[in-house]
Amino acid sequence: MKITALLVMKWQGDSIDPVILANACDVSQFGYFQRSGAKEFIVFVGRTVAKRTPPAQRQSVQHQEYKVHSYNRNGLCALGFMDDNYPVRSAFSLLNKVLEEYQKNFGDSWRNAQADVTQPWPYLNEALTKFQDPAEADKLLKIQRDLDETKIILHMTIDSVLARGEKLDSLVEKSSDLSMASQISHTQMIYIQKKIINCL
Amino acid sequence: MSMKSAQSSYRDRTQEFLNVAERLKKSFSSAAPNAASSSVAKPDGTRSSLAIQKEFKDRASRIGYGIHQTSQKLAKLAKLAKRTSVFDDPTMEIQELTAVVKQDITALNAAVVDLQLLCNSQNESGNISSDTTSHSTTVVDDLKNRLMSATKEFKDVLTMRTENLKVHENRRQLFSSNASKESTNPFVRQRPLAAKSTATVSSSPPPWANESSSSSPLFPRKQGNVESQPLLQQQQQQQLVPLQDSYMQSRAEALQNVESTIHELSNIFTQLATMVSQQGELAIRIDENMEDTLANVEGAQGQLVRYLNSISSNRWLMIKIFFVLIVFLMIFLFFVA
């Protein structure tokens, strides 16, 4: 479950190529010499996919062993290169988040960008590392996971409570036996005492 | 009575008739064969009036018996029609019985009509006394009435049976309407099947083929199956819209899952609470038992202490022991010294 790259592009449905606004790649899995090639490849495929995504649409494209998820929201397009295990929904929620952040940070200045922006955007890099685990990105997944854990814990609790119940049962029995025995011995002693007093 | 009189009158008549026939034979030679035939016919007719009456009676008795049997069958049919329940419906028996009863009734009707014709012809032809005529007419009327009542009963049974059937149908519709509500999903599933089957049936004209090709991707979309879409000439937009749908649907599904998990959790919590409260009761019981035991043991201990006291500080015993010792000393001293 790995994210290989996150891209933010601007594409407004016109004929010009999409313009890269932010780029974060994690190409550590490739060998040293392949890294630049991989980056180029990512940029190219990202541009192609963004071009094919009409505005206000989500799209997932399978490319070799990667899935490219793109989300175009009125001109601002976010792309993610993930492998097949990454759940689609979390991918799109992640892209959503990225777009929101971008909008918060840069406002509308991106609309004027004409050339590829080469400055790294730290948030995107952080996001790339943080969101390797899909649960982080997708709150629903997180909640589901927490609930499942809670359920497991509760099952264990119920088991222990049942064991406690059994122990309490045995205790009840023992205590009732004790009280009966003590009662018997008490009455017997009174009886003997009376006998002795009568004797004397 | 009328039979005897008829017989006696018949007997009388034959002699007279024979005389008349001889006279006629002598007198009319040309009309002799006719007279002979008629005279032959007449004694035959008069002779066969008994036979006719016998026949009449036979037929009447047969008809009466038939009517009786039919009414019995009708009673059986009525019972069957009454007891029809929803499940074991003796439709076959009922239908057979109705057919049989119908046949019987028609046969009896025909027989009664024949009987009536015979009776009429008998009344017209023979010189029979009015008693026999009235007797025969009454018999025929009686049979007719009985047959009419039997047919009326038959009609009533049939109407009852149709009413029962209607009631059963209503009951079945009540149950089946629920079933039809529950089976809307199979209906939704069946509709594509039906559409596909109709599409395959009407395969020759191209517009039908086009329609089927455009409708078949629609139905998979409705079922929310994006990944296994038949990719006939699909434009990208058609693929995007289902992707949006599936995204939303998957979100909705996840939310529902979360909701159900939370429900389960609440269930588990309530169960836990009940169990713990029950066990709290157990703990209280244990506590009571222990207190009882404590009280008993304390009482026993008190008894023992008293016993100990009574044993340890027993003056009487000491005095007794001293007395005994002194007595011994005395005796010892007296005997030795």
pLDDT of residue B203: 38
pLDDT at B119: 80
pLDDT-derived band at B240 (thresholds 50, 70, 90) equals low
Q: Which helix (H) or strand (E) is A69 found in, with range?
A: strand A66-73
Q: Closest Cα to residue B91, out of B73, B105, B74, B77?
A: B77
Q: Cα separation of A186 and A199, whole Å?
A: 20
**Residue B87: band (very low, low, confident or very high) from pLDDT cuts 50, 70, 90:** low
Range of lowest pLDDT (A126-135, B170-179, B277-286): B170-179
Smallest Cβ–Cβ distance between A161 and the set B262, B275, B285 belongs to: B275
> pLDDT band at residue B208, thresholds of 50, 70 and 90?
very low
For the four alpha carbons of B314, B316, B318 and B320, in that order, the dihedral sign comes to: negative
What integer pLDDT is reported at residue A193 of this predicted model? 82
Task: Write the residue in B271, B293, B303 that is nearest to A193 by C-beta.
Answer: B303
Q: Which of A88, A144, A154 is facing B258, going by the closest CB pair?
A: A144
- The whole-number pLDDT of residue A15 equals 67
pLDDT score of B179 more than 60: no
Q: Amino acid identity, residue B66?
A: G
Q: Are A53 and A70 in contact (CB under 8 A)?
A: yes
Q: Residue B183's pLDDT band (boundaries 50, 70, 90)?
A: very low
Q: What is the pLDDT of residue A129?
A: 79
> Which residues in chain A are contacts of B271 at CB distance < 8 A?
158
Interface subset of A 77-96, CB within 8 angstroms of B: 88-89, 92
Task: Supply the pTM of this predicted model.
Answer: 0.44
Which of B241, B246, B247 would best serve as a mutation to test chain A binding (most A beta carbons within 10 A)? Answer: B247
Distance in Å from the first CA to the final CA of chain B: 157
Percent of chain A with pLDDT over 90: 8
Whose tokens are 């891209």? That residue is A7
Q: Which residues of A touch B237 (CB under 8 A)?
A: 54
Interface mutation target, options B255, B286, B305, chain A, most CBs of A under 10 Å: B286
Nearest CB to A151: which of B240, B261, B278? B261
Q: What is the pLDDT of residue B33?
A: 47
In the predicted structure, residue B239 carries a pLDDT above the cut 70: no
CB pairs under 8 A between A and B: 118
3-class state of residue B51 by DSSP: helix
Angle between helices A88-106 and B236-312 (to 10 degrees): 100
Of these ranges, A43-57, A173-187, B106-120, B203-217, the one predicted with the greatest mean pLDDT is A173-187
Angstrom distance (rounded) from CA A144 to CA B191: 36
